[in-house]
Amino acid sequence: MKNSVKSVVCTVLIVMMMNICACSGKAEEWAYIHEPETMVLSLSDNGKAIYKDVKYKYTKTDDHIELTGKDGEKLDMKYVMDGDKMILYERSTYQYDGEGSPDGIIGVWKQDNGWSFQFTEQNTFAEESIFFGHYLVNEDDHSIKLMYDDPIEDAILYYELDGNELVIDYPWPMVKAE
């Protein structure tokens, strides 16, 4: 009788430990480089993710992370590893803020939250009317290289242009969350 009680207790303990280990899969936790203490993206070994405090399921390839929400909505984010850092491309949509139709990306583009880009024919840009510089467009891979006047590292963003809508995948440097 004592042996069977010991067996049952051992079995229960083993099952409990297996459940604890399975539920606490390792996670990669990432934060913006300018806010390393605030986790933005968490990718668990069990296929679950948290992005900006919202829970998702995810799949990851060598260059994309696809998040799937409870409602089936999908977010596809390009990323590039740079040593122990990651460049995560977050998607934002801008509306043309001008008369008629835009001439490519030239013009003022605004988001609902007030953020903006202005691209000129002289290949200069203004980002949020705070950061200024020159830009180059690569139409083959739909990228825009921003070369800032301030001592800020150049940035390459990817874009899609559809009429009066400009969708930008903007690069955000990430570090492991503290």
Cβ atoms within 10 Å of 3's Cβ, excluding its own = 7
pTM to 2 decimal places: 0.80
Q: For residue 42, which of 28, 53, 54, 24 has the smallest C-alpha distance?
A: 28
User: Between 25 and 130, whose confidence is greater?
Assistant: 130
Render pLDDT for 35-66 as a digit per residue (tens, 0 to 9). 999 999 999 999 999 999 999 999 999 999 99
pLDDT of 18 reads: 40
> What pLDDT is recorded for position 78?
96
Backbone angles phi, psi at 16, to 5 degrees: -65, -45
Q: Average pLDDT, whole number, for the chain?
A: 88
What are the structural domain ranges in the chain?
90-176
**Residues 109, 118: Cα–Cα separation, whole Å:** 6
Q: What percent of the chain has pLDDT over 90?
A: 82
CA separation, residue 174 to residues 35, 147, 169 (Å): 9, 20, 15
pLDDT of residue 22: 42
Mean pLDDT score, 108-124:
96
Count Cβ atoms below 10 Å from residue 21 Cβ, excluding itself.
9
CA 169 to chain centre: 8
- Residue 62 identity: D
| pLDDT tops 80 at residue 11 | no
